[in-house]
Amino acid sequence: MPSTATPDRAARELDVGALITDGTHHIGGEWVPAKNGETIDVINPATREVLLRVPRGGPEDIDAAALAAADAFPAWRDTNPMVRADLLYRWAELLREHQRELDIIERMEVGRPHWGPSPLPRMIIYIAGMVDKVAGKTLPTARPGLLGMTLREPYGVVGSIVPWNAPAHLMAHDVAPAIGAGNTIVVKPAEDAPLSCLFLAKLAAEAGIPPGVVNVVTGYGGEAGAALPAHPLVRRMSFTGSPETGTKIMEACAKNRIPLHLELGGKSPQIVLRDADLTKAVPAIVRSITLNTGQVCAAGSRLLAPPELKKELIGAISDAFAKVRIGPWYEDVQMGPLISAKQEERVLGYLDIGREEGAEIVTGGHKLTGDRFDRGYFVAPTIFDGVRPDMRIAQEEIFGPVLSVIDYADEDEALAIANGTRYGLTATVWTTDVNRAVRLAKGVQAGHVYINTPGSFGVIGAPWGGTKGSGFGRTMSADIVEEYTLIKTVVIDGDA
Ligand code: NAD
């Protein structure tokens, strides 16, 4: 019988416990509790209700997962790449079939609104298409009897540590190319939002990806997380998260002498030039800082405005902020709560810092209160005007819906301000002058520069990653599966 429930009501009634086994990791194809028996409550940030419990894993659980991954590795490495690709296609198909559940789980744990159809299946299909094309080369030789070649081989067990802001997407970013290349993987999701990662692992198992190829160990960063890059069986790491934790992961990888792919934060500039089309720029700037409640590494959190446009820009953005529908994930909203009490404290703390530094709050600047907000971590979208480039609110990643407006006099100064932070993830330029667009595209220090567009949406295979303090390495590039392999040189002397 068709359900008579409204979509929102049906969403709230989704039985997450039935989709993901309560209180278990996914290790070696089994759903197992933490060895210490402890659990962590996963909270809905809009209501503070407990959604589910997950294991509070520790080094002993990471050890069990690394052993399971190592056991699974030889057979997986030797599996025909076409079969590995088929299994990724099947995983993508299941994600497509279950995208409603995946969307609801992630919305509940992160507190974000519905974002439309998930790009994940398409991304995995794109990656699966590379799997049977990874190949070595033959090398030129000095004599006919000599054969020189390179083989491309997987690393073995690889590790991935995932943050909470887009967990399923960021997990799949790492898992699909890693296992496509023949590696096996241990994933440590964020303690605040591990449910969608467990659901992805469940669908991977249902797709027929063999036990031990994808393992998920939940737990706190300082416990389960710290044990992963230090584990002797782990041969490569991938980390997405904060710069502070990134430094710790680098240190652990250096001690373990393993390579690392690092995706960190950003303080991305939105550079509005005098000739910009504000009808395009304003909605994109608003979306960039309110999407996922500003908890996006690429959030355009610094607005670089020329004096003659600043008043108009701030007025238009303030008006748009006032219209942003804010509320719990199951309503028709554009912006949800912050993920946790800790994150709320961080954002409110930066609002105080900005005031103390002498910046002026134009709109927002406070926690939202009232019936719909009292139980969740809701903060109003905020604009700070009069921000100097050296202020902390212009330099540090706030990771909330807070826009810092900085004046500049000319293009050279705009570029200097844009490049004047330790970060270098993305930058957006709004201009109708193609010469300026070219100069800024080349001059900005960032992994991505967007001109008159809020991102690389619609571009297929755009490599993702930063420069400077935003990390190194690229995901989603056209050779990402190859990056999960090592080169072995083989020389055969046929004259011997
Ligand atoms: P975080 O560094 O606190 O946590 C990220 C992950 O690291 C979590 O799984 C956490 O449990 C784990 N962790 C924490 N301490 C650890 C330790 N000592 N050893 C090992 N693991 C540890 O970051 P967060 O608050 O979850 O995420 C927000 C940050 O992530 C922001 O800075 C954001 O910009 C960044 N981010 C970057 C990208 C990107 O693609 N560049 C994407 C999303 C988020």
Q: What is the DSSP string of 246-310?
A: HHHHHHHHHHHT--EEEE-----EEEE-TT--HHHHHHHHHHHHHGGGG--TT---EEEE-HHHH
Which one from 101, 197, 253, 297 is the annotated catalytic residue? 297
Strands (DSSP E) contained in 19-154 are: 25-27, 30-32, 39-43, 50-55, 138-139, 146-154
- Return the best residue to mutate from 161, 169, 260, 402 for the ligand 1 pocket (most ligand atoms within 8 A of CB): 161
Nearest to 410 by CA among 273, 269, 268: 273
* Side-chain-facing half-sphere of 361: CA atoms under 13 Å: 17
At 111-138, the pLDDT tens digits run 999 888 899 999 999 999 999 999 999 9
pLDDT beneath 70: ranges in the chain: 1-13
| Distance of alpha carbon 132 from alpha carbon 213, whole angstroms | 18
Which one from 106, 223, 263, 397 is the annotated catalytic residue? 263
| Distance of alpha carbon 61 from alpha carbon 40, whole angstroms | 15
What pLDDT sits at residue 3?
Answer: 35
What pLDDT sits at residue 478?
Answer: 87
What pLDDT sits at residue 9?
Answer: 54
| Distance of alpha carbon 253 from alpha carbon 6, whole angstroms | 49
What pLDDT sits at residue 490?
Answer: 98
What pLDDT sits at residue 6?
Answer: 45
- Mark whether 253 is an active-site residue: no
What pLDDT sits at residue 13?
Answer: 64
Strands (DSSP E) contained in 279-412 are: 302-305, 360-363, 382-385, 402-407
What pLDDT sits at residue 5?
Answer: 40
What pLDDT sits at residue 331?
Answer: 80
Ligand 1 pocket (Cβ < 6 Å) reads 161-165, 170, 188-191, 220-222, 225-226, 240-242, 245, 248-249, 263-266, 297, 397, 399, 425, 466
What pLDDT sits at residue 329?
Answer: 79
At 374-384, the pLDDT tens digits run 889 999 999 99
What pLDDT sits at residue 456?
Answer: 86
